[in-house]
Amino acid sequence: MHSSRHLRRPLVAVASLSLIGTLAACGGGSDSATASTPGVTDDSILVGTHMPLTGPAAAGYSTISPATKAYFDYVNDKGGVHGRKITYKVKDDGYNPANTQSVVRELVLKDKVFAVVNGLGTPTHTGVLDFLKTNKVPDLFVASGSRSWNQPEKYPTTFGFQADYTTEAKVQATYIKENLADKTVCFLGQDDDFGEDTLKGLTQVLGEDGVKERQSYVTSNTNVGPQIGKLKAAGCEVVSLATVPGFTALAVGTAARLQFKPQWISTSVGADYSTVAGALGEAAPLLEGFLSTNYLPSQFDDDNEWITLFKKINEDYNKGAPFTGNTVYGMTVGYLFVQALQQNGKELTRQSLIDTIEEGGLDGPGLMGLRFSKDDHSGYGGAQMAKITGTTQDYFGPVYATDDGETPVKEYTEGATTPPKDGIPTK
């Protein structure tokens, strides 16, 4: 236990033995700071999240929180973390920012959660940043690649998780520059930070003139025909997507009806094969040759020890749900949260866990390291290319590392980690 980093309140002298007995009976224990921490008891930790279990982003994304819970249940069955079992309270926000504010307030003020873990969505989560900051709630591993989560001075309790959209787009653009330099490159993205940050990464590498046509969509309108028509009219040969899975399928399907067949290339957000193929149904073969980036191991890589571990947990604790990239995503989040708790030690407060994460040391299944520090809350810092062939999505080429700034895209050579023997981090 690295006790030097934990906040402790001085012991207050009490005047009577009966009062001491009362405090002990109420679970006062040896660490009064832990005892007064919301959501934490001697044998439990309550955390929560907001997820689109319904609505325009539910396809695929609704399977993330069950995967995280499955990993927590696996850990709980083996004794939990420092004697505490994790309860994960998931509330549906329908990918609607107004709903998100309502359910997050319930989680914090009514349910008294210790932390919010993996709240999903750029437009949704943006609206609760100030609330979580004001209430000093750890806002961990946000399920979005927006650069907004990496503002440690403004939002000291918020941490990203996935490679940010700009980072992924810089890796994509590097591939385009090296392999598709003679093609007309265009862009279709969500009308928020998701789209803006992705476009920023593309133009950093390709230049402002390197992206000819730029179109956006809103999640409340599922007709993307006008946007796809403009991309076709502009002679686009490569189309970079900043789309959630349902809109990836809409874009590909609409383009096929318009006899428009560009080379698609997407961030990991909208590229999970199982999810998009499921949305396309019989039209799934349209995904042949679809390119994307990712920062977590491939669900199809049975030689990867993390995939072997997660498949076993999925079978035993997730009712045998389909194993997809979103399953890998959800279980990775669960692993990192458990790892942070292990490293924190038994004496747990909200601030002590934030301090622990800022010390670095978290790794997990990612293809490259996490960048967490006191000055960096951004998460994974790179990606690798992937291609759909038939019904698999295989990675190829080197793993690249970069950031959302001017750092050039460079090959990452340190290699990935392997899971501990029983799949539970010990420190």
Cβ neighbours around 339 below 10 Å, total: 22
* 139-140 sheet: strands from edge to edge: 85-92, 44-51, 115-117, 139-140
Tens-place pLDDT, residues 297-344:
999 999 999 999 999 999 999 998 999 999 999 999 999 999 999 999
The backbone torsions φ and ψ at residue 294, rounded to the nearest 5 degrees and listed phi first, read: -155, 160
What does the block give as tokens for 122? Answer: 């750029």
The backbone torsions φ and ψ at residue 187, rounded to the nearest 5 degrees and listed phi first, read: -145, 140
Q: Could you tell me which of 82, 127, 121, 87 has the C-alpha nearest to residue 104?
A: 127
**Mean pLDDT computed over 216-223:** 95
Tens-place pLDDT, residues 367-403:
998 999 999 999 999 999 999 999 999 999 999 999 9
* 382-389 sheet: strands from edge to edge: 214-217, 185-190, 238-242, 263-266, 291-294, 382-389, 392-401, 410-411
Contact 114, 181 (CB under 8 A): no
Contact 333, 295 (CB under 8 A): no
Residues 239, 240, 242: CA angle, nearest 5 degrees: 135
For 10, residues 6+ apart whose C-beta sits below 8 A from its C-beta are: none
Residue 122: strand, helix, or coil: helix
Distances from the Cα of 376 to the Cα of 47, 138, 150, 160, 352, angstroms: 23, 15, 6, 9, 17
Distances from the Cα of 23 to the Cα of 17, 26, 32, 225, 238, angstroms: 10, 5, 10, 65, 66
Q: Could you tell me which of 161, 163, 122 has the C-alpha nearest to residue 140?
A: 161
Tens-place pLDDT, residues 29-64:
445 567 789 999 999 999 999 999 999 899 889 999
Res. 2 pLDDT band, cuts 50 70 90: very low
Tens-place pLDDT, residues 134-171:
999 999 999 999 999 999 999 999 999 999 999 999 99
Name the β-bridge partners of 51: 92
Residue 48: strand, helix, or coil: strand
Q: Could you tell me which of 123, 86, 121, 93 has the C-alpha nearest to residue 107?
A: 93
pLDDT at residue 351 is higher than 50: yes
pLDDT at residue 264 is higher than 60: yes
List the domains of the chain with CATH numbers.
Answer: 165-294 (3.40.50.2300)
Helices and strands of the chain, counted as H and E runs: 15, 12
* DSSP code string of 159-217: ---SPPHHHHHHHHHHHHHHH-TTSPEEEEEETTHHHHHHHHHHHHHH-GGG---EEEE
For 284-330, give the secondary structure using H, E and C: HHHHCCCEEEECCCCCCCCCCHHHHHHHHHHHHHCCCCCCCHHHHHH
State residue 415's pLDDT score. 81
